[in-house]
A and B are shown apart, each in its own frame.
Chain A
Amino acid sequence: MSNKFFQPDRSKYPSMKDDGTLDVDLSSQKYTKIWLGPNHPGVTGNMAVEMTLGGDEIVQAKTHVGYLHRGFEKLIERRLFVQGFPTSIRMCVAEPDTNEYLIARSTEELSGLTDRVPEMAEWLRTLALEMARLQGLLRGVPGQAGTYSLGIGVQWGVYLRDLILDRFEELTGARVYHMYIIPGGVRGLLPSGFKRRMEDNLTDIDDFIVRIRKLIFHNSVFKSRAVGSAVIPKEWIDKFGIVGTNARASGVKRDVRKDNPYLKYSELDFDPPTATDGDVYSRTWVRWQELVQTVDLIRQIMAKMPEKGDIRGDMPNALHWKIPKGETYVKLESGRGEYGMYYVTDGSSKPRRVNLRGPSYTHAIAVLEKMLINTNIADVHATMVSLQTCPPEIER
């Protein structure tokens, strides 16, 4: 385990060959080949990590994806523009609303109708995306401790997440797959009393924020496991294209909401939190700060958004909507980092190409297999969760 009191002597194995590659001879019986997954390793979705162990340390790791391909992009390419969003949300379960927004925004952009999206809808979209981030963080922050078997925080978080899902339920009509952001706008105004109930929930979350800080960040077990574990050096950031909290925890302030503001983010006051060490502890700490910030952002949104307004602009008939030939890349800052969609239209009533590019494509495939080397097998889940790997967005 990566703690300061116990550091194994790895100088003896595996030995290095003359050409610099590792001398891993499985027939020597010094090594064990073991597969993690493909069934939800580290509770993140179906993928597999093929590991070669020397003792309980990983000497080689290879990530495998291909267990979760559902062909959602192709399904969307065979549907009308307005039919895409119910399928898109399945591409990332953790924050489904991000997919809805990307589909809607791409459709509006290529139709040249972005200015028809009403102000009210822009605010409601911002609110939905921040609520999605909040429910993700309520799972993700304590979930990191959960990977070290500290389950109590997860239970607190899941309860509060359920309260946010209650708010989603009354705003959007559904708890998990909201299907709320639609090309042209959104599908409902705030129900009466929503702001008051949301404020009650945020007050509870304020209390949770304090408690979880004490529970996790002032916790000898968590510290001994997380500090110094799975470090992302700053120089990796650009090399691998690392984004989001993973990049910010290594000292690179990279946030689409700030760098390329969309929706109403330019009217909100916030500064993305950063850390310097790039280890599991730092990443969790950055996410905890982001939790604080998201609560604040939701309060700001509710204070600044207008009371009334149209929720959807005049759009072409949903059944005959055709979009001229064109292509676009639309992106947003999801809880895991820059989340984008490449969208091509060819003048017909269906998209020619839909390609989702999520941060896990880098984080979970390339970065993960590099980081696992010399990690204790007990830390693999924690490493995956700390990278916020999300296989559904890798394969779609």
Chain B
Amino acid sequence: MKQQTRNNKRINIITMNIKDILTPFTAWSKVVQDPVTIKDPLTREAAPRYRGFHKNDIDMCIGCGTCEDICENQAIDMVPVEGVETKSGDSGLRPRIDYGRCCWCALCVDICTTNSLNLTNEYTWVDADPEVFIYTPGVDKKSWDDKEDGWQKPVPNYHFYGQKRVHMGELHADERKDSFIEFVKGYSKEQAEMEADRCVSCGICTATCPAHMGIPEYIAAVRNDDMEEGMRILYETNPLPEICGRICTHKCEDVCSVGVNGDALSIRWLKRYIADQIPADVEKYNEILYTKDIKKNDKKIAVIGSGPAGLSAAYYLGLLGYSVTIFEKLPEAGGMMRYGIPSYRLPYDQIDKDVDYILSIGVDIKYNVNIGTDITLQQLNDDYDAVYAGTGLHLGRSTRIPGSDHKNVYQSVDLLRDIVTGAPVPVEKKIVVIGGGNVAMDITRSMARLQMEKYGEVNVIATALEDEEHMPADREEIVEAREEGCDVIPAYGPQEVIIKDDKVIGLKVWKCLSIFDETGFNPKFDESDERIFEGDMVIESIGQGMDLSYLSEDIKAKMEFGPRGRILVNEDWQAKGLPWLFIGGDIIEGPDVIHGIANGHRGAMSIDEFLNQGR
């Protein structure tokens, strides 16, 4: 304390003189200077980058809700707004900002997947009503809505999630074009985790997926390296993950919010990654999925067809304790998945892996049983409590152009099936395929492989009515077909199979100008642009039809049919007129695997409800 007192006496180091009295008066020179104050601060324009009030382009916004997730103050709520409808790829919600909580950090802008949300540089807003400070930008009109300046997502290379898809390795075209082995290699752990990290968990994909799979959740399982949890999430809605992980039409990826300004998540490959990590061991599956001891009830269900819908219905009914028997016409399970999809896309052992597990929970399957001849539908009705029919589209459709009835004009579904069953498949030197869908690409690439085996070279032309941009096949299918040496020629319509000396020598086509008009399907051609695609055989692949021959006349009489012979069902997937018959798969929806899986699941739920009425 005394020491401190002494310290105060060490003060004379800096001396004082008369200048110290006079110098401060130099400050008076400022008196004659202009004032520096802003005359009208209320109209002062903020800097172009200033973080002021929000604006949102609600047409561009898809309601993914990442702004809500990133907001550290929970100032953003996703709310329904009038005029914006919920649809595939759009949640129908829009962000509402609470300025009582907002701190104007603009993280919401920085993460916005569509770049629709911005902050303007408007910063003064006075109102006596405190309620107005909670508003939905873009919906509640504000004076700053048209302002261009303000905070926008910084550029360049400033991203809150990865923009580029992690590429999945695949065999080079030269290595794969003479082989039916699977050419897409699958993700490594590191690749899968990197890809999973890009997900923003918005759930837009879940809404669009016909099966409403828990996509953000299983992607989170990949991030957490918890494959068992991932499997449990997959099997909640989809009992065919190995299959779907390879050949799903991935509608989820089409709407992925990350894909709006970058590459969509590889959702399908991540699903495959999870399933691939679990060994093909039904014991292990039963352990992970808690299906070791399913309590059986006394009800029996017959399922016709072991395609995606039949397997899905059988699995979920099996989980509920029903005794399920599948009746399959062909020698092995899988339906179109096995007999319609080439094994370079979907290897048979992967189908077996999914099917074996379904059978392991107590589902019975009888192969080579033809309903209608070996056993009638009525007998099934008598022996079982309910019947589920997912019989698929196994009949080819013809173009019915002149010459299409020639013996060297084939249906793609028949040839694809023959390749699998080992039946002899005609392979000519020059082949023309009619069709631009995935099945057309499947037969094109399969025939190319067979040509490679037989002749050592590929000579297949695939032609489609649609132009390049609108071809219904997945883009990668078209690209890969071309890589393998196939010639995919869009926008030409088949007019005639040219036959000379009773041999097919080619296909005459005209340039297709348009496909649909106000009356529906009504293609218009430019006859002056005629081409002849040389070919020794022609394969038609313009769609499939259903084979309902298993329905006897008296059963048909009780049922109702819609346009083009479609079976009419109620909202519970019951055939109208036959409450014990439930319908699913491609004959109702799709056609694709994931729709079959989805309506198989819903069909199972409906059967359960139907059989438990009154309980």
Contacts and interface: CB of A to CB of B under 8 A. Distances in A.
A164 to B, nearest CB: 13
Given A159-B36, A227-B13, A220 B49 contact: no
Interface stretch (B104-112, B374-382, B493-501, B592-600): B104-112
Contacts of B24: 150, 214-215, 218-221
B157 interface: yes
A317 B9 contact: no
Contacts of B105: 85-86, 179
Contacts of A314: 159, 162
Interface string A45-87: 0000000000000000000000000000000000110111111
A169 B103 contact: no
Contacts of A10: 5
Contact of B201 (A150, A211, A311, A319): A319
Contacts of B201: 319-320
Interface in B18-61: 19-21, 23-24, 26-27, 30, 36, 46-51
Given A174-B104, A224-B16, A314-B159, 14 more contacts: A3-B11, A80-B70, A156-B30, A169-B47, A172-B49, A173-B151, A179-B106, A189-B154, A219-B24, A223-B14, A311-B154, A319-B160, A319-B200, A374-B8
Nearest to A276: B13
B197 interface: yes
Nearest to A20: B1
Interface string B58-70: 0000000010011
B110 A187 contact: yes
A319 B69 contact: yes
Contacts, number: 160
Given A4-B12, A231-B7, A317 B50 contact: no
A310 B158 CA distance: 8
Interface in A164-186: 166, 169-174, 177, 179, 185
A227 B11 contact: yes
20 contacts: A3-B11, A10-B5, A82-B107, A85-B105, A86-B107, A150-B24, A153-B27, A169-B50, A173-B47, A174-B104, A179-B51, A191-B47, A214-B26, A223-B20, A228-B8, A281-B14, A311-B156, A319-B160, A319-B200, A319-B201
A366 interface: no
Contact of B161 (A2, A4, A169, A319): A319
A229 interface: yes
> What size tier do the contact residues of chain B reach?
35 or more
Interface string B383-423: 00000000000000000000000000000000000000000
Nearest to B160: A318
Nearest to A168: B47
A324 interface: no
B4 interface: yes
Looking at chain B's contact residues, the main secondary structure is loop
A273 to B, nearest CB: 16
Nearest first, the 7 A-B pairs at minimum CB distance are A228-B11, A83-B72, A170-B47, A86-B105, A318-B160, A218-B23, A220-B20
B158 A185 contact: yes
Contacts of B197: 316-317, 320
A176 to B, nearest CB: 11
A326 interface: no
B199 interface: yes
B15 to A, nearest CB: 9
Listed residue (A153, A173, A187, A233) with the most chain B CB atoms within 10 angstroms of its CB: A173
B185 interface: no
Contact of A373 (B4, B106, B200): B4
B1 A22 contact: yes
A272 interface: no
A113 to B, nearest CB: 13
B528 to A, nearest CB: 54
A311 B158 contact: yes
